């Protein structure tokens, strides 16, 4: 029969063990809470990175637009180099068409625009873009983008665009474009030359704008272009070379209504149009 002293000692030992168990349980809870908070913090950082990456390229990364990049629509790009190197006494400009020595096997050699040293800076050039979905009339602005207008017109005269597909469509409220101008249909094709972007801080891309895609680097404009069927919100990194007529916008609206296959998601966005678009011919009207 245990004595009172022994019973008190046994009770003290049980109480000590209970206190030790409670302390161990509290430590485990604190450790698990710390692990949980750390895991949530890591997930939050990863999610933020995905959001930043997704917003990084609106129009480009496919000669796009970011809409547009030549490598496939809009990253944070360095300040674009000027396409024109000098203004002549008669008001013309000297355009700097640079040979593309990147080794890209999707380039097509069609020479370079003639009389690049005396490129006109007045008036407009009108092109008829005939597609299997309808015709679009493109008016190119020689004053605002003389080098891009000269290059676009020259390539059309060479039949460069004929038979090519429009490889990308983006169908968002503030970024609605159809991207064309790559004879290979891959998003990485173009001519064997490139030139600088012709932009200002005020360059914008409202509905009806024709803009030149680029890779986000200086002197990376080629043949790819995007046609805006919404008021497109892009940083002023892409040469706005002209406008599409109302009949052409109706054609674009019909193409946009069918959407795209999402093959360019998450970046640069969009995908091949669900209604395939082929440029049957690009004709210089005036």
Cβ contact 179:226 at 8 Å: yes
Q: Average model confidence (pLDDT) for the chain?
A: 83
What pLDDT, on a 0 to 100 scale, did the predictor assign at position 116?
Answer: 96
- H or E segment at 165? strand 164-165
Give how far the C-alpha of residue 142 lies from the chain's centroid of Cα atoms, to the nearest Å: 25
First vs last Cα of the chain: how many Å apart? 119
26 strand-pairing partners: none
Residue 12: per-residue pLDDT: 57
Phi, psi angles (nearest 5°) of residue 254 = -65, -40
Tell whether the model's pLDDT for residue 122 goes beyond 80. Answer: yes
Is residue 57 over pLDDT 80? no
- Residue 134, sorted as left (phi over 0), alpha (psi -120 to 50) or beta, turns out to be left
Number of Cβ within a 10 Å radius of residue 34: 10
Averaged over 149-175, what is the pLDDT? Answer: 97
Give the residue with greater pLDDT, 133 vs 62: 133
Q: State the pLDDT at residue 222.
A: 98
Supply 42's token pair: 């890591």
In this prediction, residue 267 carries a pLDDT of 76
| Cα 240 from Cα 187, distance rounded (Å) | 19
pLDDT higher than threshold 80 for residue 170 = yes
* Each residue's pLDDT tens digit, 221-257: 999 999 999 999 999 999 999 999 999 999 999 999 9
Residue 181, pLDDT > 90, answer yes
Between 36 and 271, residue with greater pLDDT: 271
pLDDT band at 266 (very low <50, low <70, confident <90, very high): confident
**Residues 241, 139: Cα–Cα separation, whole Å:** 8
| pLDDT, average across residues 185-189 | 95
Q: How far is CA 227 from CA 5, 31, 158, 177, 243, in A?
A: 95, 57, 21, 5, 8
What architecture is domain 84-284? Beta Barrel (2.40)
| More confident: 50 or 200 | 200
263-275 mean pLDDT: 90
Confidence of residue 37 (pLDDT cuts 50, 70, 90): very low
Inform me whether the pLDDT recorded for 208 exceeds 80.
yes
């Amino acid at each position: 029969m245990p004595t009172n002293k022994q019973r008190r000692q046994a009770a003290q030992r049980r109480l000590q063990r209970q206190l030790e168990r409670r302390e161990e349980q509290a430590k485990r809870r604190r450790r698990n809470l710390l692990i949980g908070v750390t895991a949530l913090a890591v997930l939050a950082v990863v999610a933020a990175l995905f959001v930043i990456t997704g917003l990084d390229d609106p129009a480009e990364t496919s000669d796009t637009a970011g809409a547009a990049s030549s490598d496939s629509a809009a990253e944070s790009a360095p300040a674009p180099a000027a396409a024109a190197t000098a203004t002549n006494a008669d008001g013309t400009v000297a355009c700097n068409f640079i040979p593309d020595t990147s080794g890209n096997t999707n380039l097509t050699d069609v020479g370079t625009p003639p009389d690049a040293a005396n490129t006109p800076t007045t008036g407009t050039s009108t092109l008829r873009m005939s597609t299997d979905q309808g015709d679009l009339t493109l008016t190119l602005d020689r004053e605002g983008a003389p080098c891009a207008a000269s290059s676009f017109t020259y390539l059309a005269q060479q039949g460069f665009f004929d038979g090519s597909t429009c490889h990308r469509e983006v169908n968002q409220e503030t970024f609605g474009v159809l991207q064309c101008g790559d004879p290979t249909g891959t998003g990485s094709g173009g001519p064997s030359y490139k030139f600088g972007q012709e932009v200002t801080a005020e360059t914008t891309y409202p509905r009806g704008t024709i803009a030149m895609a680029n890779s986000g680097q200086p002197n990376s404009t080629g043949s790819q272009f995007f046609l805006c069927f919404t008021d497109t919100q892009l940083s002023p990194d892409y040469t706005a070379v002209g406008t599409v007529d109302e009949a052409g916008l109706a054609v674009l609206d019909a193409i946009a209504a069918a959407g795209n296959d999402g093959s360019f998601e998450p970046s640069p966005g969009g995908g091949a149009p669900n209604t395939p678009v082929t440029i049957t011919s690009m004709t210089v009207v005036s």
